[in-house]
Structure 1
Amino acid sequence: MKILAVIPARGGSKGIPGKNIKLLGGKPLIAYSVEQAMASKLLSKVMVSTDDKVIAVLAGEYGAEVPFLRPDELATDTTPSIEVIKHAVAFLELQGEYYDAVCLLQPTYPFRKKGFIDEAITTFIEKKTDSLVSVLPVPHQFNPHWVFEADEKGSLQVVTGEKEIIKRRQDLPQTFFRDGALYLTKISSIKQGTLYGDNLSYILTDSQLYVNIDTSGDWEIAEQKLSHFLAQI
């Protein structure tokens, strides 16, 4: 299976200015995702989609290909990832390059353990699903079967629709949340405008390495977890 890795890294960032090139442990943030992708034995190509020339140069220095600068209309705060991926796929297909699936690696998630990407790809191929997403378990106190929402009258009801709340923690079904480390999606689903398709499988990540950097507080957490990550590689 030919799999294209796309690392989206726009120049603008309101939460942390210059986030993707800011040094974390003496290395630009984007370098972590590029190096992890380059170490994969199962990715066919690693590319960075950016609108920023400095990011493009840095990405190239760490081994990624940057075949274009992303147009401004696809580099806003509200640009969906799926549109960035569709643009990259269309560009490469015009060059005669075709892939079976895309692996989206967000640079805001720097701490993927060694071999994680190839483990995810192997699972994706074996499961034969349209997509695969990395997840972590939802803590039981936030399980949707224990979460309420208010109706138009201001009355609370369980968001999952049960009239009676599940009483024991042990009886709660296991639930997960997307942690942002990785998305794998068949090209056929990408072209339909979805990262998920009809069938979605998953891979668990390491909660001790979890951080998805969006704010200065997240950056501080990343700095605290850096030594634990380095001990794993």
Structure 2
Amino acid sequence: MKILGLIPARGGSKGIPGKNIKSLDGKPLLQYTYEAAKNSTLLSSVILSSDDPEIIRIAKEIGLEVPFIRPAALAADGTSSLEVIQHALNFFAQKGQNFDAVCLLQVTSPLRRNGLIDAAIEQFSKGKFDSLISVREVPAEFNPHWIFEQNNGQLAIATGEKEIISRRQDLPKAYHRDGAIYITKTEVLQKQNSLYGNKIGFIDTTGDPHVNIDTPADWEKAERLLTIFREQ
């Protein structure tokens, strides 16, 4: 299976200015994701998609391939990951290069354990999924079966059930995306115009150190977790 590793990193971060190339423990944030991708044996190619000249310059300095400059229209706050992926696929298709799937690796998740990307790809291939995402288990108190939504001034169980599950032991496991890995078949991305499709696989990273950097507090958390991450 031919899989494109795609690292998106646009300029103009507001929460943490220059976030994608800001130094985290002596390395630009971007480098953590690139090193994880570079250590994969199952990614056919790893590239950066960016609109920002400084991000592109630093990416090239660390050895990351930058085959194109992303159009400004695809680097706005409202631009979806799907649009960024489709742009990259179309770029390569015009050059006669095609991929079976794309592995999206967000720069804001720098703490991927060794072998995680290849384990995810293997699971994706064996399960014949439309897509596969990395997830973390939702704590019981936030399980959707224990969550209420407001409806006409009243509360209703978010799952639509009439009776709440009373015992914690009876709750089905629930997960949330952790942002580290998204793998999707090209035909799903292009023909279904979807990042997920219908059959979604997952790889559980609940036991791993994790941060998805969006705020200064997240950045501080990443600095603390790096010590734990190095010991894995």
TM-score by length of 1: 0.97
Counterpart residue identity of residue 112, structure 2: R
Counterpart residue type for residue 188 of structure 1: E
Kept in 1, the 8 Å contact 2:135–2:206? The answer is no
SS in 2 for 1:209: coil
CA apart distance, 1:205 = 1.1
Runs of 5+ in structure 2 lacking a partner? none
**Within 1, Cα distance between the matches of 2:119 and 2:70?**
30
The verdict on how the C-alpha distance between 1:128 and 1:208 changes in structure 2, with shifts beyond 3 A counting, is: closer
Question: What's the counterpart of residue 97 of structure 2?
Answer: 97
Shift in Å, 1:62: 2.3
Deviation of 1:208 (Å): 4.2
User: Which residue of the partner structure matches residue 178 of structure 2?
Assistant: 179
- 1:24-35 matches, cutoff 5 A: 24-35=24-35
- Mapping of 1:52-91 within 5 angstroms? 52-91=52-91
Name the TM-score, length of structure 2 as normaliser: 0.98
The residue type equivalent to 1:174 in the other structure is K
**AA in 2 matched with 1:227:** T
User: Which string of whole-angstrom CA distances, capped at 9 and with x for unpartnered residues, describes residues 76-103 of structure 1?
Assistant: 1111000000000000111111100000
CA–CA distance in structure 1, aligned partners of residues 144 and 207 of structure 2: 19
Which residue is equivalent to 1:44? 44
CA contact (8 A) 2:9 2:20 kept: yes
TM-aligned CA deviation for residue 193 of structure 1: 1.5
Summarize the alignment of residues 55-204 of structure 1 with structure 2, pairs less than 5 Å apart. Answer: 55-152=55-152, 154-191=153-190, 192-204=192-204
Q: Name the CA distance, whole Å, in 2 between partners of 1:88 and 1:155.
A: 46
1:47-101: CA deviation from partner (whole Å, max 9, x where unpaired): 0000011111221222221111111110011110000000000001111111000
Match of 2:34, as an amino acid?
Answer: V
Once the two structures are TM-superposed, the CA of residue 207 in structure 1 deviates from its matched residue by 4.2
Question: In the aligned structure 2, how far is the partner of 1:208 from the partner of 1:2?
Answer: 28
1:160-189 CA-partner distances (Å, limit 9, x unpaired): 011111000000011100000100000001
**For structure 1, which runs of at least 5 residues remain unmatched after alignment?**
none
Q: In 1, distance between residues paired with 2:132 and 2:38? A: 20
RMSD: 0.9
- Worse overlay, 60-69 or 179-188: 60-69
The CA distance in 1 between the partners of 2:79 and 2:109, in whole Å, is: 18
Secondary structure in 1 matching 2:201: strand
